[in-house]
Structure 1
Amino acid sequence: MHSKLSKHFFIALLTISVLAGCTQFAAAQTQEDLEAKEEQAIKESAALVSPSVVQIQTVGGLSNVGRLLTSTGPTTGLIVSSDGFIISSAFNFISKPASILVTLPDQRRFAAKLVANDRARMLTLLKIEAQNLTVPKAAPKNEIEVGQWSVALGRTYNTPLPSMSVGIVSALNRVWGKAIQTDTKVSPVNYGGPLININGQVLGVLVPLSSRRGSTETAGVEWYDSGIGFAIPLADVFATLDRLKAGEDLHPGLMGISFKSRDIYGVAPKIDRVRFDSPADKAGLKPGDVITNVNGKTVSRVAQVQQELGSHLAGDVVEVTVKRENESKTASVKLAEKLLPYEAGFLGVLPTRPSQTEESKGVIVRHIFKDSPAETAGLKKRDRITRFGEQDIKSLDDLYDAVSRLRPEQSATVVYLREDKENTAEVTLVTTPAAIPSDLSPEIIPDP
């Protein structure tokens, strides 16, 4: 009996082992099949877009731009119109080349003309004399999702298919709302090339980008092959393509405001200054206004305002709602390409440096410039300025801030103490004189 039970147990154990082995083999086979299908899908998607990916070579130009040694090797572009228009990264042309050559996938070669630049998204539009070119399909922006497959394509080698780097879409609306972020390898090899999905649709055009203000074509290039890459959605490129085709350079849209705090994430977007004759000034926005809504989206932090405005170009009109005291006001603001240079008014006083132990009771005048608004108003050495316009003055920074808010020919009331007696004077600021005084009062004011 015991022998029979052992035999049955052995047979059952053997059966289980065989079944487990079959299951593991089936799972391994399924995994291999899945990987093979993924590889095939990626290759097929690249093959679909390949006829639209071109090689670009530049000839001549600068060898250095700032501290950056410019590249002389081939790079990539993407056909965006069947009649010969090609979009690429502006980085590829920072050397200001004498000639630009484009090689199509069928090995035909053309001289290219630079038509226009999109300086907000660091793109350049080229034109070659060719017809019936293949234009890729753009992926709808609302269908792009974080985590989906993405493939970066470049055309730097003379191979049937472009070079490929596979990854995922890691974030959306990056760099103040302008770009898709990907962890594929992005570098000068594929700058200007497409970022595609596995359906053969183009997600965007690969470019180096940075969120820093005043960024140039080289900003962000230090991140190449780091797993942090950016692409401008092709749908956005198509939306402004006609303007680029007409030779119009596109620029970031400027409103002309600055905020009270440098903390862009933790405080409300309260306007500190409105630049004279700027779009914000023309729309009636004022210092002290708190922005609550931009184009229908509620905002409560400075970063959110920057995010909503970041993707807009000069000439775009945005609707801005602000809270002013207890009222809500909405204004249409037409963004500008550039702002007029700001010139602060000149008061004509030189203050003393505050003592480490001195309490903040205003700013003591050390020197009065000859024929200045301060001299005309009757201010003298040793006067202590305690108020300028609507602002109490407790430090040099307060006085500088208050005076710098007014332009030449604007007026303000100055409150000052002279021998502990409070006095007021009206001053009208002037343009800062170009001449430097031949002598200035010493830091320690001698007794009279």
Structure 2
Amino acid sequence: MKKIASIVLFSALGGILTLGAYKLFLENPQIVIEKAVESKPNMVTASNTSRLIASTENTDFTVAAEKTLNAVVHVKNTSLKTVRDPFAELFYGQGSGIKQYSQIGTGSGVIISSDGYIITNNHVIKNATEIEVTLNNKKVYKAKMIGTDSTNDIALLKVEATNLPYIVFGDSNEIKVGEWVLAVGNPYNLTSTVTAGIVSAKGRDLKRNGNITDSFIQTDAAVNPGNSGGALVNTRGELVGINTAITSSTGSFIGYSFAVPSNIAKKVVEDLMEFGNVQKAILGVSGGELNNKAAENLDIDITEGFYIAGVADNSGAEKAGLKKEDIIVKLNNVKIATFADLQGFLRTKRPNETVAVTYLRNGKDYTVNVKLSKNEISKVSTLGLELKNLDKNELKKLDIANGVKITEISNKELMYYGVKKGFVIIAINNQKVNSVDDVNEMIATKTEGEVLRIEMLNLNGEIERYIFR
């Protein structure tokens, strides 16, 4: 009995000692840890996270989506391809080996007026013999081509309809890096689809077309095949870009997409409506982006801007006093950091408009007004030709609708085949030539090994065709 009592007593004493040790050494540190969790720095972090979550939740995309979904259309183009089978012609006679088949291409478009004007990408409807537009409500219309601009990859279509929903143009110069945007289009033949992202960069030059430079808006909104020609809109539902390209090794979206800025697209559309072609303005300067070497030679600290290497005679730039080694840093108070910035700005302007040019000379800032001019003459070294635009009276006199005149020729091969000064180039690879810029663009976009088929009007008013390899 005494043994049992001793065991119980020692057990009770052990329990008391264990509980005391727990209270003294273990429970108090736990309280300190709890206080640390509730310390002020952690509370601030939690508060910031809450504000971030609230900010994201308060960004409302529904208004922009509602404004744009019904104004973005599905565009289907049908083109006829001709295939020639030489073996069939050998056995069954000439002409028996020629077959035609239809090729279907799809993309997106944006209604920009209630009476049926639609903007899309040039590559969406290139070589189309028939264009069909399907609205979000499943109504189908035949579309008429109004005009195209291959440089900016923009095309303008028209359907015969009224009271259509449309998207208003926003100011693409005003959008900021980090701003929310929505991409609306028809990827993979799906009906109007909305994706969201932010503006990742502006004035992006992809150098995708040889010498032709673009000034794209870069976003991380998902864009896939079929989105081309669709809308890039801000959270107010205003059109700030036309989705045009993605960079991908797979052909599908992997993180970034690119859009033609709305200011460029709007100017192209207005020119196509008014003139039938794009009116391209030039400052009258040549050069490129300012680099470290040029900055060192000029003994300046900045490394951004457009470095003037030459000024064209009788140009607006020369008349305004711009000189070689001046550095253009702003146009109409818009920052010019790269060549793409300069090109992008000028593509929103027309000949005879005046712009305020801010430039650096000898370390000092100056601002002058420059009247923009039209590029009327161009030397195409690849062809050994100097070309000149034709005005309406000259076109009427020659009884042609388009073309550019050869004013000088140094290509001995062409001279051998009878090409002379005064000949008029009217088409290259079945695409009409309206200006000297068109010729430059078609030459610049020529792929390696591609054949150039040039149609010319000779001095007798006859069409001659030449092939360049």
TM range (shorter): 0.5 to 0.7
After TM superposition, the structure 1 = structure 2 runs for residues 157-176 of structure 1, keeping only pairs within 5 Å, are 162-175=192-205
Match of 2:372 in 1: 334
Match runs of 1:249-288 below 5 Å:
249-259=277-287, 264-266=290-292, 267=294, 271-275=308-312, 280=317, 283=319, 288=324
- Per-residue deviation at 1:271? 4.6
- How far did residue 295 of structure 1 move? 3.5
Match of 1:391 in 2: none
Q: 1:127 to 1:322 in 2, by over 3 A?
A: same
Structure 1 residue 48 displacement after superposition: 3.4
Residue number in structure 1 paired with 2:123:
91
| Residues 278 and 340, structure 1, Cα contact 8 Å, conserved in 2 | no
Give the Å deviation of 1:71.
7.5
Question: 1:187 touches 1:221 (CA, 8 Å); kept in 2?
Answer: no
Q: Secondary structure at the match of 2:281?
A: coil
Q: CA deviation at 1:133?
A: 0.9
1:48 equivalenced with 2:67 (yes/no): yes
CA distance in 1, matches of 2:151, 2:200: 22
Contact 1:181 1:230 in 2 (8 A): yes
Q: 2:262 and 2:336 mapped to 1: Cα distance? A: 30
Give the Å deviation of 1:134: 0.9
* Map 1:313-324 → 2, pairs under 5 A: 313-315=349-351, 316-320=353-357
**Structure 2 letter corresponding to 1:265:** N
Q: Does the 8 A contact of 2:234 with 2:240 survive in 1?
A: yes
CA distance in structure 2 between the aligned counterparts of 1:326 and 1:7, rounded to whole angstroms = 75
Give 1:165 shift: 3.6
The 5-angstrom pairing of residues 154-233 of structure 1 reads: 154-156=185-187, 162-175=192-205, 178-208=215-245, 225-233=253-261
Tell me the alpha carbon deviations over residues 178-229 of structure 1, each in whole angstroms, 9 at most, x when there is no partner: 43211233344201101234454433211239xxxxxxxxxx8988634332
Partner of 1:132: 163
Structure 1 position 88, deviation (Å): 0.6
- Which amino acid counterpart does residue 100 of structure 1 have in structure 2? I
Q: Given the superposition, is the C-alpha separation of residues 297 and 248 from structure 1 closer, same or farther in structure 2, using an over 3 Å criterion? A: same
Q: Report the secondary structure of 1:113's partner residue.
A: strand
1:242 CA displacement: 3.7
**Contact 2:202 2:216 (C-alpha < 8 Å) held by counterparts:** yes
Give me the whole-angstrom Cα distance separating, in 2, the residues matched to 1:221 and 1:249: 32
Deviation at 1:127, TM superposition (A): 0.5
In structure 2, give the amino acid aligned to 1:181: Q
Q: 1:78 aligns with which of 107, 110, 119?
A: 110
Q: Which amino acid aligns with 1:230?
A: F
**Cα distance, 1:235–1:57 mapped onto 2, change above 3 Å:** same
Q: 1:256 to 1:208 in 2, by over 3 A?
A: farther
**1:73-109 C-alpha deviation (Å, 9 max, x unpaired):** 3210011101100111112122x11111101111111
When you count helix as a share of all residues, which structure comes out higher?
A: 2
Residue of structure 1 equivalent to 2:452 = none
Query: Structure 1 residues 221 and 91 mapped into 2: Cα distance closer, same or farther (>3 Å)?
Result: farther
Q: Corresponding residue for 1:107? A: 138
The CA distance in 2 between the partners of 1:311 and 1:123, in whole Å, is 12
CA gap of 1:12–1:333, structure 2 versus 1, over 3 A, is same
Note the C-alpha offset of 1:126.
0.7
Q: Distance in 2 between matches of 1:329 and 1:81?
A: 38
Q: Which residue of 2 aligns with 1:123?
A: 154
Secondary structure (helix, strand or coil) at the match of 1:245 reads helix
Which segment is superposed worse, 330-339 or 99-108?
330-339
Using a 3 Å threshold, how does the CA distance of structure 1 residues 279 and 224 change in structure 2: closer, same or farther? Answer: farther
Does the CA-based 8 Å contact 1:177-1:311 persist in structure 2? no
Question: Given that residues 107 and 124 in structure 2 are in contact (C-alpha distance below 8 angstroms), is that contact kept between their aligned partners in structure 1?
Answer: yes
Contact kept, 8 Å, 1:45 with 1:198, in 2: the verdict is yes
User: What does residue range 31-70 of structure 1 map to in structure 2 within 5 Å?
Assistant: 41-42=60-61, 45-61=64-80
1:217 corresponds in structure 2 to none
C-alpha distance after superposition, 1:103-156 (max 9, x if no partner): 111111111111123445321111000111112244454652212333322125
**Structure 1 contact 254–339 (Cα < 8 Å) conserved:** no
* Identity value in percent: 24
- Pick aligned residue for 1:243 from 271, 288, 294: 271
Q: Would the alpha carbon gap of residues 196 and 63 (structure 1) be closer, same or farther in structure 2, given more than 3 Å must change? A: farther
Cα distance in 1 for residues equivalent to 2:20 and 2:183: 65
Q: How far apart are 1:340 and its partner, in Å?
A: 3.6
For 1:109, the aligned partner's letter is V
Shift of 1:4: 6.6
**Letter aligned with residue 118 of structure 2:** I
Partner of 1:395: none
Q: 1:290 aligns with which of 311, 323, 326?
A: 326
Secondary structure of residue in 2 paired with 1:60: strand
C-alpha spacing 1:158/1:92, structure 2 compared with 1 (3 Å):
closer
- Aligned partners of 2:345, 2:359: CA distance in 1, in Å? 15
State the secondary structure of the residue aligned to 1:87.
strand
Aligned residues: 324
Asked whether the equivalents of residues 329 and 337 of structure 2 are also in contact (C-alpha less than 8 Å), the reply is no
CA 1:298/1:207 → structure 2, altered by over 3 Å: closer, same or farther? closer
- TM alignment of 1:297-312, pairs within 5 A: 297=333, 303=339, 306=342, 309-312=345-348
Measure, in 2, the Cα distance between the counterparts of 1:88 and 1:312.
17
Partner of 1:148: 179
1:254 and 1:338 in contact (8 A); partners too: no
Answer yes or no: is the 8 Å Cα contact 2:354–2:369 preserved in 1.
Answer: no
CA distance in 2, matches of 1:230, 1:221: 12
Any gaps of 5 or more consecutive residues in structure 1? 65-69, 210-219, 344-429, 437-448
Query: Is the Cα–Cα contact under 8 Å of residues 203 and 344 in structure 2 kept in the other structure?
Result: no
